[in-house]
Amino acid sequence: MLPIDPQADPGRRTWVACPGCDDARDCAACAERRTCGEHWRYLLSNTGSLLHLQCPACTHVWDHETGFGATRHQHCRLA
């Protein structure tokens, strides 16, 4: 189990399902997409719409692409 990231701040939170433990699967508030006081994730950082998250329950760390706002695009070269 990883330790909680030293940059984790409970003031920077997000509500995204954790792919590591899925602890919110039976939560009525989370199922209705309401903010839940128990099943939040640390928002460690972001690059545009790509969020870098950590679950306080299982300490899993992952990236989540929201597709909202300033999305990151792969630039291609035109020949």
pLDDT tens across the length of the chain (79 residues):
789 999 899 999 999 999 999 999 999 999 998 889 999 999 999 998 999 999 999 999 999 999 876 555 554 444 4
Q: Under 8 Å CB-to-CB from 35, ≥6 apart: which residues?
A: 15, 29
What does the pLDDT read at residue 78?
46
DSSP-based three-state secondary structure for 47: strand
